[in-house]
Copies of this chain bind each other. A is one copy, B any other.
Amino acid sequence: MATQANSVPHPTVIKVDPFIPADQQRGLHNRWHPDIPPFVTVKPGDVFKVECVGESTFFLVKSGQCVIGTEVVDDAGEMQIGLVLRLATMTVLSSIFAASDDIRDVDLSKVHNLSGPVAVEGAEPGDCLVVDILDVVPFEKMPWGYTGIFELENGGGLFAREFKSRACKAIWDIHGIYASSRHIPGVRFAGVSHPGLIGTAPSAELLATWNKREGALIEAHANAVPPVAFAPNPTGAHVGQDLPDDVREKIGKEGARTIPGREHGGNCDIKNLSRGSRCYFPVFVKGANLSVGDLHFSQGDGELSFCGAIEMAGIITFKTSIIKGGVEKFALKQPIFVPSPIDPLYSQKLVFEGISVDYHGDGKQYNMDATVAYKQAALNAIAYLMKAMRKSIRFCLELTIKHMRLAREQAYLLLSAAPVESHVGAVVDSPNACVTLAIPTGIFDHDIMPKEEGLKKLDFGQCAIRSDGVL
């Protein structure tokens, strides 16, 4: 008989409130350090939930002039009219419409807000922690997320320099398994929901290795904008637990920043670490001390715009087990995983190629550089999508140009957020690495395949921009 007694939810071992600043909450931390104690301990075999603020609330530390969420204007058409009227009414508009000022002003010293650490009983250094990611869902009360383009000078992104990026944003409505956006109409896709960031705690030795090698890189590129890497930084560091001052200070001073993925996992932003996947992590400290955050409703391979996934707050469900001595058994230098059987399947794809020549820029030949090749493939895809975007009638040249930039930014956001796949074609045919980027055509309401008559123009509306109108 179904009774309340026998109907017990899986326990939530870390609870958060997405409406309270992360640095005021317990169970969150934003640095990697072996001395951060476990916030909670679970047994192998337990099914448990962890709540995450994701990165959709790190903006909360800012005052409220910007808008994320469902109350913003629903009609991209209105927004376009708004643009036309911009010179006269910008002050008004900025208080009505979604704007991207939050993106512009983000304080990146505070990212990422990780839930954890969760210790697993019996895990020892050298073991393999098997983690079943059983589900990843948004909070029921927050069925939305967003994708952002950071400013060149604050965060950047893959094309920050090429596009001289100004802050832009698309808000996505989450309707069950699907996302769609008022800022990129005509598109709907199933989410490959996953944690952008998940990892075990580093040992002191591993942490030292990270800091040393990244320090060397920073030193070699001292004035890069955006920076090439991020050194430990006590400012903004947060560990939502009661800690002795010296421990807290040590964590702030030594703790690795969460931006890059590393040998323990971390911010790998692999879209296929999705709900239903099984992951095998190396264990570096007693208990393994798993932390997780930066939940994504969806993301494309590459996560181009850096804040490129659909960032959401929500809940992740886990089950763990331990394989003793797994690091040696499986030669684990970094996690391995088995993808989910329910990752979205869109069989028809339009694939773009790129090689390691910057032919979208200065034409320079690189030597077997897959990153450059990836960028060309992505730029080819963006150029193609822009051919499928209807241009609005504009009153003045200035706005037409800006509209074109917005179309580009929308394509950039779309490739960042949709379940786009990027394959390494070949990395041996000197000097050109070849990388492909595949867009599933089934995510579009309209046909975007190449046709004799050219591409059908779609109305792509307009993404959210800065309230001061700067593009």
Contact = CB atoms under 8 A, between A and B. Distances in A.
A450 B306 contact: no
B178 A276 contact: yes
Contact of A347 (B1, B130, B329, B347): B347
Contact of A432 (B177, B260, B302, B337): B260
7 contacts: A2-B19, A176-B317, A259-B429, A260-B432, A271-B425, A302-B426, A331-B384
B268 A1 contact: no
Nearest to A385: B331
A334 B431 contact: no
Most B C-beta atoms less than 10 A away, residue of A102, A130, A430:
A430
Interface in A194-232: 209, 213-214, 216-217, 221, 226-230
Contacts of A164: none
A430 to B, nearest CB: 5
Contacts of A454: 325, 329-330
Interface stretch (A132-140, A236-244, A397-405): A132-140
Given A6-B70, A422-B423, A228 B431 contact: yes
Interface string A436-468: 101000100001011110110000000000000
Contacts of A341: 190, 344-347, 442
Interface string A366-377: 111111011010
A176 B134 contact: yes
B371 A270 contact: no
Q: How many protomers of this protein does the assembly include?
A: 4
Interface string A293-318: 00000000111111010000100010
Given A3-B19, A70-B8, A275-B176, A455 B330 contact: yes
Tell me if A's interface is mostly helix, strand, loop or mixed. loop
Contacts of A72: 6
A61 to B, nearest CB: 10
B350 A347 contact: no
Contact of A343 (B325, B342, B376): B342
Interface residues of A, number: 156
A57 to B, nearest CB: 5
Given A2-B57, A364-B213, A367-B221, A329 B450 contact: yes
A338 B357 CA distance: 23
A154 interface: no
A18 interface: yes
B364 A270 contact: no
B371 A368 contact: yes
Closest 8 CB pairs of A and B: A134-B176, A6-B69, A135-B176, A269-B426, A370-B370, A260-B432, A347-B347, A331-B383
A268 B302 contact: no
Interface stretch (A25-33, A85-93, A141-149): A141-149
A293 to B, nearest CB: 13
Nearest to A58: B2
B175 A428 contact: no
Contacts of A157: 428
Interface in A27-77: 47, 56-57, 59-60, 62, 64, 66-72
A187 interface: no
Nearest to A197: B429
A286 interface: no
